[in-house]
Structure 1
Amino acid sequence: MNIRTFKPGDEAIQAALFNVTAFSLPGFKATTADDVKKRTRGRGFDPDARFYAEDGGQVIGYCVLEPEQGRIGFPWCKKGHEAAAAPLFAAALSAARARGLTSVFAAYRRDWQPVLQFFADQGFAVAREFINYWADPVDLPTLVNRSKLPINRLRREDLPAVAALGTGVIRLPPDKLESYFFANPYFPAEAVLVLRGADDAPTAVGIGLESGTYADVKRIDPLAPCFRLGAFGTEGLNAKRVNGMFSFVAAPHQALTAGLALLSEASQEMTDGTVNALAAQCPSDVPHLVGFYTRYFKEHGRFPVLEKQL
């Protein structure tokens, strides 16, 4: 058996291999070569972090590491060739260490027990779950004197305060936030709302995303391990674009009042257009944010994130 890295043309092989090995799992959704190509042609793709096991010149398994995200995949292997899983996964872990990563994570459906058990056997532990929510705009409370709320758009000088408010939630370091918010190819900086205090300093920050080309939250699989574009805590990750997405960060003691103010403002803007249902996503280890979404949204599903220190 030989372990090699990616070469052009592997996209179709990888898609076929995944489809034949994962089809019996709950909620399975077939992939295509074009789906794989979106990743291999994306920014930051590292061909030396994608591994394929060959036996007699035929690919019998593969395992993917996404170094920029720190995300590692399950080693999918053809039936009868499960022994390739260990060397494939070891190669991916070795590549992570070689790139200076100190931890890696995996995210899969909570009902994919064989996959989750594999990661548990490799020393991974569930660090948190990502909870998916939705809400009907007509069920949201209305704020009195909404027009007088001190809410406006994000400014570059707000970024240190945003980093502080997002401590323990935002994935990116402070020096990467300007690029994330002001040069993001997937949403404009104008989508970011800031609730300000008496000294004009940010006391909470929210995001509201609207596009008729994005997925309808009521039609997507709520158990799928998909991070949602714009949700705080998903910065720098591959993310699914969901119409009507709302997310915010605030200090624990201000979460309910600040979140409601930002939700009211964002939903008013979004529901003037194509949004007929609001979406949200929140990591389970941020209790003050979970408490807000539980109060104003309906839980739709969740998926675990497993981590391992290297």
Structure 2
Amino acid sequence: MTANAPLNELGEFLKKRRSELSPRTVGLRETGKPRRVEGLRREEVAQLASISTDYYTRLEQGRMQASAPVLDVLARVLHLDDDERGYLFQLAGKTTTRTRRRGRQKVQPQLQRVLDDLTATPAIVQGRRGDILAWNALAAALVTDFSRIPEKHRNYPRIQFTDPAMRTLYADWETSAQISVAQLRMEAAKYPEDPRLIELVGELSLRDEQFARWWGEHHVAARTVGTKTLNHPVVGELVLDWDTLTANTDPDQHLTVWTAAPGSPTHERLRILASWAADQDLPASSPLN
């Protein structure tokens, strides 16, 4: 057996696993055109993993060692089970990083209580990567029924770029989406090896050319305050101020509220929207979501 045999085997293993995945499996649009290779292309795997195609090609050719964080992301992109993931790390001579993964975030009780008391103000709680951890009924009426979105896809930037309704809801969708990308960039600086963040960036880069371009511009932004104009399908134009409260018990959790000045047209329309939401029986989140 040659010294590079494990790397060669790793490359063959990666090649075989990507050949078994379809674009639809990983959330990519199928064009209907014939594909020259079975499964995913190398460049598609590379983009989903947020690494260069050249880097991934070298891995498949057994010409490069992979770091543990890269292996972790590739395991997620290629939908490897626990045994396959362990085998991948063994071939690379790396120790699995599974035990160092951050646990699933749950909304902090203090933020949940605040959220429960906000009946006339749309509000959501976002965690790492913009994951939506909790929301009230008025936020569901304002943006979308978050309960209908699978938990693994319940992420605000992902919704902005994959739900066509968002492009008509936001009067200036491009500016809002660019801010989301800049906030993700800030998050990536804080957690550069977060596999779920890397996977999210890779998916959105493949699915949306604008996301890929804005991500490449390296602009950053923190979650602070701002104003947004929405064209709501039920109550019409809403000019909303948004503000962010960060939980001291978990600085990676942020309560975002949308408000309007008392007596303003938007303030009255929010009251109408709250009444409509009650009639629709739109669900708020619960601690068990």
Output the TM-score relative to the length of structure 2.
0.31
Q: Identify, as 1 or 2, the structure richer in helix.
A: 2
Greater strand proportion: 1
